[in-house]
Amino acid sequence: MWPNRRLLDLLGTELPIIQAPMAGANGAAMAIAVSEAGGLGSLPCAMLDADKVRAEIGVIRQQTTKPLNTNFFCHTPEEPDPDAEIQWRKALERFYLELGLNLSAAAPAPNRRPFDDEMCTIVEEVVPEIVSFHFGLPAKELVRRVKSAGCTVIASATSVAEASWLQDNGCDAVIAQGYEAGGHRGMFLAEDITTQAGTMALVPQVVDAVSVPVIASGGIADARGIAAAFALGAAGVQLGTAYLLTPEATISELHKDALRSAKDDQTMLTNIFSGRPARGLVNRIMREAGPMSDAAPIFPTAGGALAPLKVKAEENGRTDFSSLWSGQAAALASEMGSGELTRQLAEDGLKLLARLGGRAAQSIL
Amino acid sequence: MWPNRRLLDLLGTELPIIQAPMAGANGAAMAIAVSEAGGLGSLPCAMLDADKVRAEIGVIRQQTTKPLNTNFFCHTPEEPDPDAEIQWRKALERFYLELGLNLSAAAPAPNRRPFDDEMCTIVEEVVPEIVSFHFGLPAKELVRRVKSAGCTVIASATSVAEASWLQDNGCDAVIAQGYEAGGHRGMFLAEDITTQAGTMALVPQVVDAVSVPVIASGGIADARGIAAAFALGAAGVQLGTAYLLTPEATISELHKDALRSAKDDQTMLTNIFSGRPARGLVNRIMREAGPMSDAAPIFPTAGGALAPLKVKAEENGRTDFSSLWSGQAAALASEMGSGELTRQLAEDGLKLLARLGGRAAQSIL
């Protein structure tokens, strides 16, 4: 039995493992596999339009009756600044020249839309058991509607202050997202990445500050991290990078190959791919234009100017301009199906806790 | 019984808790209290001259027969650059003006000497059971002499590459120092702080890479962190910030007060106080001259130009120019004696492991 059942009771899942919603890296297949295995599968909706969200949820509901999480971004959209975009393209011009591309080939960035009335209406129709948010929470009225529909609401915090804010604003559980985590940092009350806390420090401080269940994330990719999270007081874990080598991950083979050889000290936080800090494997463009750049246009537009470079380089088998999202523990990831991985992680995590505790108990009794 | 006894067997201590050597923040009193309590007390020697090292070890040996760790820095000293020093003072001139101080008041930095023949001779005389190093290892011949004297050698690694290097070069155990850790980062094969891994990600990857026992450090300041470290595969922990509120800590009351109200998101890595990256509570000079500055002179000289500002500001009860070393989990620190704290941490850590494991075992049996 899991040492802390608060998250299981809240989510209605068998296992306290949430598959992190990874926009661009997973769709319905992974969510189905994880939910069917007893964990919480997640559908990332930030890069999908309304029709696609409906269709994907429809597919999932056909394949599993287990709880589902749908994830949305809730940044406040800002008006793009054409001058900033021109400056950004200028800063990247030398790469265009090198690859024989014309700057006019630069495309608009993939949209990452915030949760809005239209998406909320879909949520009210299909009622995913859990709705998770990144970058804070949407407007109060939208949160109220999601909760009124019967959904459990969770969201990411990168500090104690953010965790307390999320609890005060209606979250039923908070994800403590440590510095190690891959992809976009959920930070919304602060912008300074230099004060972000690691998972080991963040989780117990969040546990002490809020009364809702805490989900640990960041640097957790095997059973050891899961057991450690429970030791820190978490009631569950959210894993992303651990699932990137599964067949259900929708990332490129180049991205998977990079992950297969990733080491602990080969990721950085960068804002050049979207405009907001996100962790990925270090590559040429991060080193040469970042990793953090004041010239990167506002979220989510920064990546547009990199898109043609990425396409051209990848045609030649190179990831010099690709966003290779990854947390700091990619080396711990296993290559197997998402469902099997979920069950294995849970089984190994419980066994490890039992083994550690069995020995510890000998000296106390 | 501790789930992993490899470090206990190596160190000859009762408890797998190492009190971090903190140059300027602890002396003989803390080392005695921790060793007497069953942990491993540490004497930081980097800022002491040879006579003082002998005297302090003498005091410790009179008070306890338990194992002792003496810690040394082993950076390669560089020739100070007078021009860089002049530029640095110029960059700080406005603060001197504001505080009514003359730039000529700037003093030389407190010396932090690397381990050398003279210190090695003392080690050979007094044979501390353990000798730990920061910033890599000293020259091979010095390592050989320390080991020939019968000392166990340990050192800090901030990456898997550094851990493997330390094992290959004679370390009997390695300290995996996560990003969360307070004070100077032990990094020696890399200089880039943006790729440094958090404790949750670093420890299991180091455990997988080396065969010697791994000591977890960074963000661990209570029993939860200790239990988590064992879950990650560590054979012990090294705690620093946790001991800063004990009566044996030799830091200022201003520093202690700052620690008492510290939050998870109030530290940064900075090089302005010494020339090398170290984590401390954010204050005015870190924000206005750093936190990382290309203008900061080489280690360990950068702090000299800040010394008069620090003294003057502290006279007025302000820590605007003080190095307030702290890890990211100061809020978890308890105010009690170093010995009592050591015993309490161990007892609570074991109880927590037993409790977690007891519940986990129910579902497996």
Quote the domain boundaries for residue A22. 6-75+112-251+332-364
Structural contact between residues B168 and B211, judged by C-beta atoms closer than 8 angstroms: no
A78 C-beta neighbours (distance < 10 Å), count: 12
A94 and A197 belong to one structural domain: no
Residue A257 covered by a domain: no
The minimal CB distance from A357 to the residues B206, B263, B361 is found for B361
Q: What is the pLDDT of residue A110?
A: 66
Q: Are residues A41 and A126 in the same domain?
A: yes
Average the pLDDT over B119-126 and give the result.
98
pLDDT greater than 60 at residue A365: no
Residue in B closest to A216 by C-alpha: B200
Q: What is the pLDDT of residue A234?
A: 98
Please compute, for residue A40, the number of CA atoms within 13 A of its CA located in the half-sphere on the CB side: 31
Domain co-membership, B44 together with B145: yes
What the block records as the tokens of A64 is 């599993």
Q: Do A179 and B198 touch (CB under 8 A)?
A: yes
* pLDDT above 80: residue A364: no
Residues A70 and A90 in one domain: no
Which residues from chain B sit within 8 angstroms of residue A329, using beta carbons?
200-201, 204-205
Q: Is A28 within the bounds of a domain? A: yes
DSSP notation for A162-220 = HHHHHHHTT-SEEEEE-TT--EE----S---GGGPPPHHHHHHHHHHH-SS-EEEESS-
Report d(CA B8, CA B207) in Å as an integer: 17
**B120 and B102 share a domain?**
no
* Interface with chain B: mutation pick from A193, A264, A364, highest number of B CBs within 10 Å: A264
Nearest residue of B to residue A194, measured between CA atoms: B268
CA distance B78 to A114: 52
Q: What is residue A104's predicted lDDT score, i.e. its pLDDT? A: 81
Determine, yes or no, domain membership for A137: yes
Residue to substitute from B1, B202, B224, B264, interface A, most A β-carbons within 10 A: B264
Q: How many domains does chain A have?
A: 2
pLDDT for position B365: 52
What band does A79 get if pLDDT is binned at 50, 70 and 90? confident
Looking at residue A218, its pLDDT comes to: 98
Residue B327 is predicted with a pLDDT of 98
A158-207 confidence digits (pLDDT tens): 999 999 999 999 999 999 999 999 999 999 999 999 999 999 999 999 99
Q: Which residues in chain A are contacts of B180 at CB distance < 8 A?
A: 197-198, 200-201
| Beta sheet of A278-281, edge-to-edge order | A183-184, A278-281, A267-270
**Is the per-residue pLDDT at B107 higher than 80?**
no
B195·A362 Cβ contact <8 A: no
Spatial separation of the C-alpha atoms in residues B285 and B310, rounded to whole Å: 10
Report how far residue B69's alpha carbon sits from residue B13's, in angstroms, rounded to the nearest whole number: 11
Q: What are phi and psi of B44, to 5 degrees?
A: -80, 125
The continuous run of DSSP H or E covering B71 comes out as strand B68-73
- Nearest residue of A to residue B221 by CA position? A201
The predicted-structure confidence for B15-65, as pLDDT tens digits, reads as follows: 999 999 999 999 999 999 999 999 999 999 999 999 999 999 999 999 999
Q: Cα distance from B228 to chain A (closest Cα, Å)?
A: 4
- Picking from B200, B210, B220, B270 by the largest number of A CB atoms within 10 A of its own CB, the best residue to mutate is B200
DSSP A261: T
Q: Is B197 left (phi over 0), alpha (psi -120 to 50) or beta?
A: beta
CB A67 within 8 A of CB A40: yes
Look at residue B180 and tell me whether its pLDDT is greater than 90. yes
Chain B nearest C-alpha distance from A178 (Å): 8
With contacts defined as CB-CB under 8 Å, which chain B residues touch A279?
none
Mean pLDDT, chain B, whole residue set: 96
Is residue A1 assigned to a domain? no
What pLDDT, on a 0 to 100 scale, did the predictor assign at position B126? 96
Convert the pLDDT of each residue in A279-332 to its tens digit: 999 999 999 999 999 999 999 989 899 999 999 999 999 999 999 999 999 999
pLDDT at A267: 98
Q: Which of residues 38-97 of A touch B (CB under 8 A)?
A: none
A-contacting residues in B 158-197 (Cβ below 8 Å): 159-161, 178-180, 190, 194-197
Distances B5 to A360, B1, B37, B42, B154 between C-alpha atoms, Å:
11, 8, 18, 20, 16
Residues A268 and A282 sit within 8 Å (Cβ to Cβ): yes
| Global pTM exceeds 0.95 | yes
B3: contact with A, CB 8 A cutoff: yes
Report how far residue A194's alpha carbon sits from residue A213's, in angstroms, rounded to the nearest whole number.
27
Chain A residues 227-266 with CB within 8 Å of chain B: 227-233, 263-266
Residue B269's pLDDT is: 98
Closest to A225 measured CA to CA, from A39, A353, A132: A353
Please indicate whether, in this complex, the C-beta atoms of B355 and A357 are within 8 angstroms of each other: yes
Instruction: Sort out which chain B residues have CB atoms less than 8 A from A264's CB and list them.
Output: 159-160, 197, 201-202, 205-206
Is residue B189 domain-shared with residue B242, that is, in the same domain? yes
Give yes or no for A363 touching B (CB within 8 A): yes
B89 and B226 belong to one structural domain: no
Q: Please answer whether residues B270 and B322 qualify as being in contact, where contact means their C-beta atoms are separated by less than 8 angstroms.
A: no
Residues B210 and B282 in one domain: no
How many beta carbons lie within 10 A of that of residue A84, not counting itself? Answer: 17
- Domain identity same for B170 and B224: yes
Q: What angle do CA A299, A304, A310 make, to 5 degrees?
A: 125
Residue B278 resides in a domain: yes
Cβ within 8 Å, pair A195-B362: no
The pLDDT tens digits for B317-359 are 999 999 999 999 999 999 999 999 999 999 999 999 999 998 8
Bridge-based pairing of strands A267-270 and A278-281 is antiparallel
Inform me whether the pLDDT recorded for B110 exceeds 70. no
Strand duo A130-134 + A152-157: pairing: parallel
Across the interface, which of B200, B266, B362 has its CB nearest the CB of A199?
B200
Does the ipTM surpass 0.90?
Answer: yes
Query: B163-175 pLDDT, tens per residue?
Result: 999 999 999 999 9
Cα–Cα distance list, B307 to A52, A128, B257 (Å): 62, 59, 20
Q: Which pair of structure tokens corresponds to residue B282?
A: 């954010």
In this complex, how many residue pairs, one in chain A and one in chain B, have their CB atoms less than 8 Å apart?
Answer: 232
E strand residue ranges, B224-352: 236-239, 267-270, 278-281
Q: List B40's β-bridge partners, or say none.
A: B18
Residue A235 belongs to a domain with what CATH number?
Answer: 3.20.20.70
- Predicted local distance difference test score (pLDDT) of residue A103: 86
Question: Are A200 and A341 contained in the same domain?
Answer: yes
**Beta bridge pairs of residue B134:** B73
Question: Poorest-confidence range of A61-70, A98-107, B25-34, B59-68?
Answer: A98-107
Cβ-based neighbours of B156, under 8 Å, separated by 6 or more: B132, B133, B134, B135, B162, B174, B175, B177, B186, B217
Residues of B in contact with A266 (CB under 8 A): 195
CB contact under 8 A, A208 and B268: no
Q: Which of A228, A282, A331 minimises the CB distance to B232?
A: A228
- In-domain check, residue B1: no
* Confidence at A109, pLDDT banded by 50, 70, 90: low
Q: Write A77-82 long-range contacts (CB < 8 A, 24+).
A: A77/A113, A77/A114, A78/A298, A78/A299, A80/A297, A80/A298, A80/A301, A81/A297, A81/A298
Give the whole-angstrom CA distance, residue B205 versus residue B227: 18
Contact between chains at A195 and B266 (C-beta distance less than 8 A): yes
Name the residue among A190, A267, A351 with its Cβ closest to that of B195.
A267
Q: Find the residue in B nearest to A196 (Cα).
A: B265
Q: Is B314 left (phi over 0), alpha (psi -120 to 50) or beta?
A: alpha
Query: How close, in Å, is residue A158 to chain B by CA atoms?
Result: 9
| DSSP at B198 | P
In a domain, A245, yes or no: yes
Residues B365 and B188: their CA atoms lie apart, in Å, by 47
What are the tens digits of pLDDT across the range B188-224? 999 999 999 999 999 999 999 999 999 999 999 999 9
Q: Please tell me if residue B332 touches chain A, with a CB cutoff of 8 Å.
A: yes
What is the distance in angstroms between the Cα of A103 and the nearest Cα belonging to chain B? 30
Other C-beta atoms within 10 Å of B287: how many? 13
CA count, 13 A, side-chain hemisphere, A14: 14
Asked if A204 lies within 8 A of B224 by C-beta distance, the reply is: yes
Report the alpha-carbon distance of residue A326 to residue A314 in Å, rounded: 18
Q: Are residues A70 and A85 in the same domain?
A: no
Domain assignment present for residue B256? The answer is: no
Contact A334/B at CB under 8 A: no
- Tell me, yes or no, whether B205 and B102 share the same domain: no
